[in-house]
Structure 1
Amino acid sequence: MMTLEKLTKRFGATVAVDGLDVEIRPGRVTGFLGPNGAGKSTTMRMILDLDRPTSGRALLDGRSYSAYEWPLRHVGALLEAGAVHPGRTGRNHLLAMARSNAIPVRRVDEVLELAGLGGSARKRAGAYSMGMRQRLGIAGALLGDPPVVVLDEPVNGLDPDGVRWIRGLMRGLAAEGRTVFVSSHLLSEMQVTADHLIVIGRGRLLADAPLAEIVAGHASLEDAYYQLTDGSVLS
């Protein structure tokens, strides 16, 4: 389970994340929604110890990300799919990740096949399309076979077949009992993928409830979302 305890981040006078108190539970896909500037990316960066909280903490099964000796075995994450050296092949990129966390080499080839990149594994990442880079990033998130998976805008750059693939992948990971936490601006995708939603605006928690409860009484998740976030969009 992933727990955010009064998680707060300030940049000078600006409060980017304001006292988030939530639990992201295993066995379901939890969607993370909010307008631009709501604090979603900052929250994800704090979960992965890429940003230090001003106060509060983010815990993964009771420990911070940096407390794990081999973090990729516990948490897999996709934040920036383009963060790959263009001169390195897709396989070598994952191989370096695997070696850094004592992950068997065979797992590299397994996730490449899972991500549909088996035939492009030895191609330099600089020649990958945006969708291929996205698939490589997802393969990296799954490399350590982690119980917790954090994905930021996972369908970016994917064609319809890719969108269908990642949708099924996330549902499958949750069905295996993993914790799946996914940030997205595509409300239609969240409506068919997520079990539970956390919605924030201006860094504050606006909703933490099952999808069905949030959508109840509305024509769609889009309608419910705009009602929830009214007044939280930065001008």
Structure 2
Amino acid sequence: MIEVRNLTKYYGQQLAVDGLTFDIRPGLVTGFLGPNGAGKSTTLRMMLGLDRPDAGSVSLDGRRYEDCPDPLRRIGALLDAGAVHGGRTAYHHLLWLAQTNGIDRGRVDEVIEVVGLGAAASRRAGGFSLGMSQRLGVAAALLGDPEILLFDEPVNGLDPEGILWIRNLLKGFAEEGRTVFVSSHLMSEMALTADHLIVIGRGRLLADVGMAEFVAEHDSLEDAFLQLTSRSVEYRSGGVES
């Protein structure tokens, strides 16, 4: 379970995240939807203690991320697929993560196979395509076999086969009872992947709704998404009060 309460973040005078409050329940794929610049990545960074909120809090299974004694065993995250030492092989990138977190090295081989990088395990990560880097990032998130998984735009750089793979992977983890939170700016992808939606625009919560309910209420999901996000622009300009 992830509990977000009144989460707020400023960068100088710019309000990036505006009092967000929502829960992410286990057993579902929850989509975190919003246009580029909506505040999704900033929210995820605050969840993981990488940015400090100006107000509010995030609880991951009852505690802050920075208070977890064994974080990789509790929360797996992919925020930036490029955050890898380019001189290390895929295997050794995962091995040092495992060793610094008390994870058996046998788990490295397991996750390499899960993400389909067996043939590339001995290649240096600096030569990977974006799609391969995404797969390596997913492997790192899975190393500790965590109950909570956070992914920021995981389909970026993946081919159609890879998109289907990540979609099924996320659904499989949710079916196991894990908490799965995945951000995207693509309504079409979320419609095929998510069970529940958290929609934000300009850092503000616009919708917290089940996917089935959202689909039933709108003829066109893309139009509904555009209408929701346009409300956030009107709100910031003083045109909407809610």
TM range (shorter): over 0.9
Shift of 1:110: 0.3
- Whether 2:52 is the aligned partner of 1:52: answer yes
Aligned to 1:217: 217
The 1-side partners of 2:57 and 2:218 are apart by 34
Match of 2:132 in 1: 132
Deviation at 1:231, TM superposition (A): 3.6
Equivalent positions of 1:179-194 (< 5 A) are 179-194=179-194
SS of equivalent residue, structure 2 residue 217 = coil
Deviation larger for 92-101 or 217-226 = 217-226
Give 3-state SS (helix, strand or coil) of 2:98's partner.
Answer: helix
Partner of 2:144: 144
The runs of at least 4 aligned residues of structure 1 exceeding 3 Å deviation read none
TM-superposed deviation, 1:163: 0.6
Question: TM-score, normalization: structure 1?
Answer: 0.97
Structure 1 stretch 212-221 or stretch 143-152: which is displaced more?
Answer: 212-221
CA RMSD of aligned residues (A): 1.3
Aligned to 2:76: 76
Q: How many correspondences in the alignment?
A: 235
Cα separation, 2, equivalents of 1:123 and 1:220: 44
How big is the shift at 1:18? 1.0
Q: Would you say the 8 A contact 1:215–1:224 is kept in 2?
A: no
2:39 maps to a residue whose letter is G
Tell which deviates more after alignment, 83-92 or 5-14.
5-14
Please give the TM-score of this superposition, normalised by the length of structure 2.
Answer: 0.94
2:32 is paired with a residue whose SS is strand
User: 2: distance between equivalents of 1:197 and 1:92?
Assistant: 36
Q: Hey, what's the Cα distance between the residues in 1 that align with 2:15 and 2:215?
A: 29
CA contact (8 A) 2:3 2:24 kept: yes
Q: Counterpart of 2:63 in structure 1: which amino acid?
A: R
Is there any run of 5+ residues in structure 1 with no aligned partner, and where? none
Inter-partner Cα distance in structure 2 for 1:205 and 1:127: 39
| Corresponding residue for residue 67 of structure 2 | 67
The amino acid of 1:133's aligned partner reads: S
Distance 1:156 1:69 in 2: 31
Q: Distance in 1 between matches of 2:99 and 2:4?
A: 30
In 2: Cα distance, 1:148 partner to 1:210 partner: 19
In the alignment, residue 34 of structure 1 is paired with which amino acid? G
Task: Report if the CA contact (8 A) 1:151-1:181 is conserved.
Answer: yes
Aligned counterparts of 1:154 and 1:203: Cα–Cα separation in 2: 20
**Contact 2:79/2:152 (<8 A) preserved:** yes
